Structure 1
Amino acid sequence: MTPWTLTDIDRALHASWAADTCSPDDLARSGWHPGNPSWGHCDITALVVNDIFGGDLMLGDVHCDGEHFGYHWWNRLPSGVELDLTLEQFQHGQVVTAPRVIQRPPGPLPRRWAEYELLRSRVTAHLGSLPPPAGGTSLGAPPATSS
């Protein structure tokens, strides 16, 4: 395995983000465009970064002009360093507040599973093999459904 730099990982993510991996909520809010490629990708990007480095998933509330706008995900590495590779998506005065640690759901994600798998496969195409997904997630497994 060839060692990666953080720049390698960041470039692979930038090259992998697209409209088909953007959050449907963010697509509806303002669409996706290559000028702001990380828009709508914080959740699944944080999961891919968690696959690579481990650590904690962080979640914060996003506010804009005093109104609650949504949520933002990033990573806290095992060293305690917080790493946010999608913070640049906020270009219109949005502010992230109330950070908290979130447990990664075990197994397939109940939401955005297909987008996570697609993003992870694109990053893998750029970097080579990634560590297995954290939290016991098995790639290729369908998301859990309720009866």
Structure 2
Amino acid sequence: MERPHVGGCCDASDTTPWDLITLDKALRASWAADTCSPDDLERAGWQPSNPAWGHCDITALIVNDVFGGDLMVGEVHLDGEQHGFHCWNRLPSGVELDLTREQFQRGQTITAARALTRPPGRLRRWEEYLLLRERVIQRLGHLPEPAGGE
């Protein structure tokens, strides 16, 4: 007797397998000056030689869209002074993942790490987030809807 087909989350025809390496490559190919944080752009400009600069928040949000988990934030310090904040992800497995850590090339340290609840609705850098998402979608085909979206 033939078993009926049951669709759902485990049906390979209904899902797109996103893996971390593919997402990482798509994000890295999508970073640019127009998606860099305006604060970081003002502080040090954006250069193709350091493409992760100023992209931690919106990169962490896109990783969160795809894999879930927690958003992490810490203070950035250089020479004993705070120079803003840095965001990364803690995946549901508990593994912490920071796809933009290499942006810190002058000896900055990250302190006071804490988990954040993703804010609902529009984000502070909504336009840059949407632009980066669109570039990643152009490379991957599509992404899950933003968690807590508009």
Cα distance, 1:26–1:130 mapped onto 2, change above 3 Å? same
Match of residue 76 from structure 1: 90
Which residue number in structure 2 is paired with residue 130 of structure 1? 143
Q: Does 1:11 align with 2:7?
A: no
Q: CA deviation at 1:3?
A: 2.6
1:81-120 aligned at under 5 Å gives the runs 81-109=95-123, 111-120=124-133
Q: Distance in 1 between matches of 2:98 and 2:134?
A: 20
Q: Aligned partners of 2:21, 2:79: CA distance in 1, in Å?
A: 33
Q: Which amino acid aligns with 2:134?
A: S
Aligned residue identity for 1:15 = A
**What is the rounded CA distance, in whole Å, between the counterparts of 1:69 and 1:103 in structure 2?**
22
Displacement of 1:103 in angstroms is: 1.1
Unaligned segments of structure 2, at least 5 residues: 1-14
Count, aligned residues: 136
SS of 2:59's partner is helix
Q: Does 1:63 align with 2:71?
A: no
Q: Which amino acid in 2 is paired with 1:4?
A: W
Structure exhibiting the larger radius of gyration computed from Cα positions? 2
Residue identity opposite 1:93 in structure 2: G
How far has the Cα of 1:6 moved from its partner? 1.6
Question: Secondary structure of the equivalent of 1:71?
Answer: strand
Aligned to 1:141: none
Runs of 5+ in structure 1 lacking a partner?
Answer: 139-147
What amino acid is the match of 1:10?
D
Query: What is the CA RMSD across the aligned residues, in angstroms?
Result: 1.0
Partner of 1:121 in structure 2? 134
Counterpart AA for 2:93:
S
Q: Structure 2 matches for 1:13-52, cutoff 5 A?
A: 13-52=27-66
Runs of 4+ in structure 1 deviating by more than 6 angstroms, as ranges, are none
Following the alignment from structure 1 to structure 2, what is the Cα–Cα distance between the partners of residues 55 and 11?
20
Name the CA distance, whole Å, in 1 between partners of 2:59 and 2:142: 16
Q: Distance in 2 between matches of 1:88 and 1:128?
A: 27
- Paired AA for residue 9 in structure 1: L
Deviation of 1:2 (Å): 4.7
Decide whether the 8 Å contact of 2:69 with 2:89 is kept in 1.
yes
